[in-house]
């Protein structure tokens, strides 16, 4: 360890979407920033092992499906083959381009980027271990913890690690198995299932709850399930994995349903996608006296300060929802607060997207029913949208939830391909307190899927141009 210690103004531990956003914004506000991360360039799990490689491979899956369906509109392909090596290379190139770009932005802002890991020694000191293994002590005035999250694994399941994957290892595409069990039908499980099905793997999904994507409204997930019937044909719901044993070069997995019935199946690989847990244990937070809750999340206030006012925490490590865009927003808030600006984390809503045709934001129908909220719910079918019909997306739906009295938009949901492209308008509308008339009177370009928002808003008063008013009222 180096004997010499140094003092820095602001250290940020973790360079994912929250950490690098905080660093960039803090530097732009005139602060001296040191950013620490194990990777060569910023990006975090999102860019290296999550959001970006996943969406790259989902794009491949969509292109493959579209080429297979092209005959319906008069375009014929003799065959659609998959070159896994080329696909892997393309994915890696996308990741490299984006992370290299972040590295350039870091240098342009004169941010002191250090590749390595950090652990707290006390509430004003960290021990930094560089990529070369050399250690040094760094004293700091202020700090931001942005260490993200790790994949949760099945308790009590011990077998050959090469046969049991998490999202990170699955995205490497080291090989394409003939069969795969995916444990969990949340957003990770469903997105990875779509990818591996497109690669030719026979996928079986096991989920403890009664349906896919717990948390989203059932009328929306039902549409999504119908879009992915082939993927879900061998699925087991209200079922869990209780044992996984190596049998030659395969896995023998024992499943148990809610009635206690057991079933054994053989798979080449098992992908565990049961969620994420905060990465709050590897930085010795206890040595700095930083409080965490019973789930391991760092406890923060509206400014993202911990119980130590000069230490902040953002992103997945600081609480749910564990989403990159939430982390980025928190990073900006923390940087502004450290710079002395009036700023607080107070969004009305945080949008959620699953890149298999689902997006929602704000109040859900299930929550409205639980709260006995007096709401009006409108649903506009994409089968009445000219753009959707032209693109063959007639299965989709746009759903809006309004407060009956004030007519303010409280929630929105979209089921159908490209749902993620519609969610931002609904999010802004909720944040701005928009009412049904605001959305109805906003001229939307024709023909676009965004018109479905306008028409769903029109349905609040029963004057939808292209559909009959369809509402259900919850009192």
Instruction: Give the three-state DSSP class for 62.
Output: helix
Burial-class residue 93 by CB neighbours within 10 Å (0-12, 13-18, 19+): exposed
What residues contact residue 295 under an 8 Å CB cut-off, 6+ apart? Answer: 277, 278
C-alpha 119/C-alpha 117 separation (Å) is: 7
Question: How far is residue 120 from each of residues 42, 259, 280, 286, measured CA to CA in Å?
Answer: 21, 48, 11, 8
Distance of CA 163 to the CA centre of its chain: 25
CA 357, 363, 367, 373 dihedral sign is negative
Q: Element (H or E) spanning 369, and its range?
A: helix 365-371
3-state DSSP assignment of residue 249: coil
385 close to 460: Cβ distance less than 8 angstroms = no
CA angle 19, 20, 26 (to 5 degrees): 90
Helix (H, G, I), strand (E, B) or coil at 119: strand
Q: How many other CB atoms are there within 10 angstroms of residue 300's CB atom?
A: 23
Cα 46 to Cα 75, 168, 191: the distances in Å are 36, 10, 14
Beta strand pairing status for 269-272 and 375-381? unpaired
Q: How far apart are CA 282 and CA 291, in angstroms?
A: 14
Q: Any idea how long the chain is?
A: 475
* Secondary structure (3-state) at 99: helix
* Backbone torsions φ then ψ of 428, nearest 5 degrees: -60, -40
Q: What residue has token string 């602001």?
A: 10
DSSP state letters, 166-188 = -HHHHTT-S---SEEEEE--SHH
The token duo for 105 is 């932005």
Which are the catalytic amino acids? 446
Structure tokens that stand for 183 in this block? 């444990």
438-468: b (≥16 Cβ within 10 Å) or e: ebbeeebeeebbbbbbbbbbbbbeeebeebe
């Amino acid at each position: 360890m180096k004997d010499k210690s140094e003092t820095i103004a602001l250290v940020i531990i973790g360079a994912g979407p929250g950490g690098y956003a905080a660093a960039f914004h803090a530097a732009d506000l005139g602060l001296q920033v040191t950013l620490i991360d194990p990777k060569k360039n910023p990006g975090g799990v999102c860019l290296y092992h999550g959001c970006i490689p996943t969406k790259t491979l989902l794009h491949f899956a969509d292109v493959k499906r579209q080429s297979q369906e092209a005959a319906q509109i008069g375009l014929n392909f003799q065959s659609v083959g998959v070159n896994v090596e080329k696909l892997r290379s393309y994915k890696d190139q996308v990741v490299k381009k984006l992370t290299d770009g972040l590295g350039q932005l870091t240098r342009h802002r004169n941010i002191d980027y250090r590749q390595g890991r950090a652990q707290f020694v006390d509430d004003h000191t960290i021990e930094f271990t560089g990529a070369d293994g050399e250690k040094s002590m760094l004293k700091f005035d202020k700090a931001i913890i942005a260490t993200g999250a790790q994949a949760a694994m099945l308790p009590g399941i011990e077998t050959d690690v090469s046969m049991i994957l998490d999202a990170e290892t699955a995205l490497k595409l080291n090989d394409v198995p003939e069969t795969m069990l995916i444990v969990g039908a949340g957003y990770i499980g469903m997105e990875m299932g779509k990818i591996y099905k497109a690669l030719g793997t026979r996928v079986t999904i096991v989920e403890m709850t009664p349906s896919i994507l717990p948390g989203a409204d059932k009328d929306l997930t039902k549409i999504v399930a119908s879009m992915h019937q082939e993927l879900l044909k061998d699925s087991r719901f209200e079922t869990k994995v209780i044992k996984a044993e190596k049998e030659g070069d395969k896995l023998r997995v024992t499943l148990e349903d809610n009635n206690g019935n057991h079933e054994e199946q053989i798979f080449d690989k098992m992908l565990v996608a049961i969620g994420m847990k905060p990465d709050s244990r590897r930085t010795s937070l206890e040595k700095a006296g930083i409080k965490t809750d019973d789930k391991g999340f760092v406890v923060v206030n509206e400014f993202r300060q911990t119980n130590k006012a000069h230490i902040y925490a953002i992103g997945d490590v600081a609480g749910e929802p564990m989403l990159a865009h939430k982390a980025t927003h928190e990073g900006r808030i923390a940087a502004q607060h450290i710079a002395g600006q009036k700023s607080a984390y107070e969004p009305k809503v945080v949008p959620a997207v699953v890149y298999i045709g689902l997006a929602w934001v704000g109040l859900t129908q299930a929550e409205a029913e639980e709260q006995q909220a007096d709401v009006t719910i409108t649903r506009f079918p994409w089968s009445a949208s000219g753009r959707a019909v032209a693109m063959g997306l007639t299965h989709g739906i746009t759903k809006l939830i309004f407060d009956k009295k004030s007519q303010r938009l409280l929630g929105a949901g979209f089921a159908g391909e490209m749902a993620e492209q519609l969610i931002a308008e609904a999010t802004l509308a909720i944040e701005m307190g928009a009412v049904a008339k605001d959305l109805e009177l906003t001229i939307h370009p024709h023909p676009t899927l965004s018109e479905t928002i306008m028409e769903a808003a029109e349905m609040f008063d029963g004057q939808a141009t292209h559909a009959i008013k369809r509402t259900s009222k919850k009192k």
